[in-house]
Structure 1
């Protein structure tokens, strides 16, 4: 059977509300139960750190001169699962606390999906802790709400006996983990494309000649349906349900009774493409494919702005540059622009202004940002985990230091004493006398504390890239790195002769650590930790003092 994800009809349905008992195509069914695995060690073998490290965000001209205000690191990449010889592709992510729930489906005629739980409690060592394979089932979208996952997708009607391909359901979690407690309800349409929820209800849309449905959280029964064409996405905002159709535009319903409040047209879109919506400051953001992201007044429907798709990206086919998804987090807007990567915007003078872009390998098909993380699904390329960098709450008081407004290379000349605060992304740092930084820093290339110089780092710092470990962190002859807070270096770290390193906090070194003659490492206090993934080389006599936890027993 050919898998049909959506179909655009040449006419529109009148929006009619029907009750469950009058709709013969909607019924409950429980079969094809999830195949569960909680072998975190085996699952986590798919997590790859080869490209981990500090990300350089490009501005609109393609390069930066001044230091950036939004430092980011690529934590890891998660390869997609393979089941019975079929490689799945990531479709959606829901985030709750330190858990990310990732959904998958399979391209082509095969119906095969999965949901996985990613634990990011330790940002330097994420783990896949659970998996549920869903036979004969594609999963389009997941949403976490109060101990349950709400799921939308499609079933193979011949293999499963389902009355309709489109379904919506809920899985009861246990301590945040997946279970076999999955209830499914079938809807008219070829595929359940999206799901959202309110306090007592949950809502779903199904593509092609599908429906917008309201279901009871307690009984799982469909309470109301409204037939609409080519349904792509929906969202809950201020007691309103916002529904996106590829052909009929936006329809906004009151959550109390599903009365239509307003509707308005949007850009025409490619048949069957996955799209998302989100909200910021009373505005509705819609990913509109080749038309970019449309920004609409949520009350009037007036189009306020268009975030156009980028053009003339080197080595990228223009046909692969398309706005697939949009996500809002902490006043920033993230757009998945296919082969062009992720574009980041922030409000400025009532408009959204481009902050910069992230050039990621693979096509950015979906983006979800919540808390400190940005998750990017790249289809068959799997999932990318990106972390924002900020000072740890309450770790340091930076009130006595000036804000840094310089360029992306921070150079401290001989005889200079410089003191700065803030959160910045840099290319690199050269210290030839005294530098104090209070806050958070990233440096994508080298950090050199040269002979007899001092670098006081109070807060969080990330340095380097795994792909080029020789862009290293160097404490040279007689120099001092005085670290209070957390340090992560993705390249090598080298202490040259008589170098000094004082540590009060946590250190992670993905590369190698070299400790040369006369070097001293002093751990302050009783709670410091060091995790070294590479090798440790000690040349000559050196000293390591203080109380600390050596996680991998390398020192």
Structure 2
């Protein structure tokens, strides 16, 4: 049975104006806490997990294609799992709108694509990103949740509420302060709310003492006291979309003008005029990379600006999408950086990955479903808020420093996407690459991190040694790893197969060390005399 806790009369709301705060009780049944562990568990999906293609841009023809070059591609990405959006009566079409990464948790916001208001919040345990878990879920029956930030035990979520359905709430834009303990919402102390003018709150920033919120058309940037959510200061603007704080500078994106730079009193001290079309009510963000401010500018792509002078450094265009998305869907909503790699959430045009900050070496579009509304990244992982596809968790599979050191004496692989090893060959390579196919008739050592889109075959009497990470196929496009008669497969690291591991007669699989992992989503098929030796963690209990 599905159990939901309903909170209707004990939640304290703080409706604020510039110099007074009114406290009253909530009379509407607006909030539901999901308490059914099965519902939370079933929100996790592995349907599309596995190796991700990258649709590469042919700069000379301005067309996209898979594997434009025969060279093995960079960035061996894999989709770990997806988190399905919450669903409830009146909120059947929620979309993931924002994500914040703090510690071992991802905090996810949801809003509705339909008229009216409905939303939700998820807390996802990512301490083991190969096995993420939704630990807590909160439904908002009459409010969109558009952005959020976690700080010191509280989640600050902002969005829009239908004030016409309330006898006490007079403003649509709100910020909610929700206690979180051990990865779960704690509603016992109540939820505190602050309100401001504007049709819909769209972004939030948190400092040691304050919470800053922006609202859209005819709205404000407002500073709230972090403890009480009483308004400290506020300034009106035409159409704010995002806020970012760096050092003593407060930067807000005004869709009617560009970037406005404010001081601690919310007085404008500088500006960066931008003439891009930010459109009405679309999500757009600000982000920093070193001394560069990155502005998501919709159909124009991403604009890079010097944070000191405000000068435009470069535009990064949106590459064409292989699925021929509608023009109005091809817009940059948000950006994020990971060790110099730029990620662009381009709506219906997908998630773009660029190797250089200035976009001079564009890699392409990551093979993901859904419209990408927001992207965040941390360590070896990318988290994409993908509309009705929910939160998609991507592993970059970057070699660790220790693995890179152990592979240093092995030549780097720079060959074909179809790796073939002849019967008389004994080859060894290092690197971080994605293949289309791998076939081994002789002997092969791969040291590093690798993905294979299709089949892996080790012929009779062949030998294949893996040091690092090796991932085969995808859950919705399963392929096998076949170890032929009298052949050997040796693993020191992580082996993942979205398909079967097939061992021929007298074939051998040998795990080295004490930390190797085998994650087989299909079956292990053992031929006569076949053997598996060594210590390893059998993730799916298939051996």
TM-score between both structures, scaled by the size of structure 2 = 0.88
| 2:172 alignment partner in structure 1 | 165
Question: CA-atom RMSD, angstroms?
Answer: 2.2
Q: Does 1:176 align with 2:183?
A: yes
Q: Does 1:390 align with 2:398?
A: yes
1:153 Cα offset (Å):
0.6
| 2:259 alignment partner in structure 1 | 250
In 1, Cα distance between equivalents of 2:216 and 2:146:
11
In 2, Cα distance between equivalents of 1:154 and 1:513:
51
Instruction: Decide which of 409, 418, 421 is 1:412's aligned counterpart.
Output: 421
CA contact (8 A) 1:149 1:173 kept: yes
Instruction: Decide which of 43, 63, 68 is 2:73's aligned counterpart.
Output: 68
1:186 Cα offset (Å):
0.3
Is the alpha carbon distance of 1:316 and 1:298 closer, same or farther for their aligned partners in structure 2, counting shifts above 3 Å? Answer: same
Is the alpha carbon distance of 1:27 and 1:441 closer, same or farther for their aligned partners in structure 2, counting shifts above 3 Å? Answer: farther
Deviations 1:217-271 (A, max 9, x none): 22322211111111101112233221001102101123x4334331121113211
Q: Does 1:136 align with 2:133?
A: no
In 2, Cα distance between equivalents of 1:28 and 1:105:
26
CA contact (8 A) 1:327 1:335 kept: yes
What secondary structure does 1:455 align onto?
Answer: strand
Is the alpha carbon distance of 1:490 and 1:239 closer, same or farther for their aligned partners in structure 2, counting shifts above 3 Å? Answer: farther
Greater alpha carbon shift after TM alignment, 110-119 vs 472-481: 110-119
Is the alpha carbon distance of 1:368 and 1:491 closer, same or farther for their aligned partners in structure 2, counting shifts above 3 Å? Answer: same
In 2, Cα distance between equivalents of 1:30 and 1:95:
32
CA contact (8 A) 2:91 2:141 kept: no
Is the alpha carbon distance of 1:119 and 1:457 closer, same or farther for their aligned partners in structure 2, counting shifts above 3 Å? Answer: same
CA contact (8 A) 2:90 2:141 kept: no
| 1:549 alignment partner in structure 2 | none
1:393 Cα offset (Å):
5.7
Is the alpha carbon distance of 1:120 and 1:521 closer, same or farther for their aligned partners in structure 2, counting shifts above 3 Å? Answer: same
Is the alpha carbon distance of 1:28 and 1:105 closer, same or farther for their aligned partners in structure 2, counting shifts above 3 Å? Answer: farther
Is the alpha carbon distance of 1:259 and 1:313 closer, same or farther for their aligned partners in structure 2, counting shifts above 3 Å? Answer: same
In 2, Cα distance between equivalents of 1:29 and 1:288:
40
Greater alpha carbon shift after TM alignment, 378-387 vs 443-452: 378-387
Instruction: Decide which of 521, 529, 533 is 2:537's aligned counterpart.
Output: 529
In 1, Cα distance between equivalents of 2:204 and 2:321:
35
In 1, Cα distance between equivalents of 2:324 and 2:219:
39
What secondary structure does 1:123 align onto?
Answer: coil
In 2, Cα distance between equivalents of 1:109 and 1:394:
52
CA contact (8 A) 1:392 1:460 kept: no
In 2, Cα distance between equivalents of 1:57 and 1:312:
11
Q: Does 1:50 align with 2:56?
A: no
1:371 Cα offset (Å):
2.5
Is the alpha carbon distance of 1:55 and 1:118 closer, same or farther for their aligned partners in structure 2, counting shifts above 3 Å? Answer: same
| 1:17 alignment partner in structure 2 | none
Q: Does 1:92 align with 2:92?
A: no
| 1:514 alignment partner in structure 2 | 525
1:30 Cα offset (Å):
5.9
In 2, Cα distance between equivalents of 1:325 and 1:291:
12
CA contact (8 A) 2:422 2:441 kept: yes
Is the alpha carbon distance of 1:21 and 1:531 closer, same or farther for their aligned partners in structure 2, counting shifts above 3 Å? Answer: closer
Instruction: Decide which of 186, 198, 220 is 2:229's aligned counterpart.
Output: 220
Q: Does 1:474 align with 2:479?
A: no
Structure 2 counterparts to residues 296-375 of structure 1, below 5 A: 296-311=305-320, 313-347=322-356, 353-375=361-383
Q: Does 1:152 align with 2:158?
A: yes
| 1:16 alignment partner in structure 2 | none
Q: Does 1:80 align with 2:85?
A: yes
In 1, Cα distance between equivalents of 2:520 and 2:412:
28
| 1:237 alignment partner in structure 2 | 246
Matched positions, count: 509
Instruction: Decide which of 290, 293, 296 is 1:281's aligned counterpart.
Output: 290
TM-score between both structures, scaled by the size of structure 1 = 0.87
Is the alpha carbon distance of 1:283 and 1:352 closer, same or farther for their aligned partners in structure 2, counting shifts above 3 Å? Answer: farther
| 2:10 alignment partner in structure 1 | none
CA contact (8 A) 1:105 1:111 kept: yes
Greater alpha carbon shift after TM alignment, 477-486 vs 433-442: 433-442
| 2:114 alignment partner in structure 1 | 108
Q: Moved runs in structure 1, 4+ residues, more than 6 A? A: none
Instruction: Decide which of 182, 205, 214 is 1:196's aligned counterpart.
Output: 205
Structure 2 counterparts to residues 289-300 of structure 1, below 5 A: 289-300=298-309
CA contact (8 A) 1:374 1:387 kept: yes
1:407 Cα offset (Å):
2.2
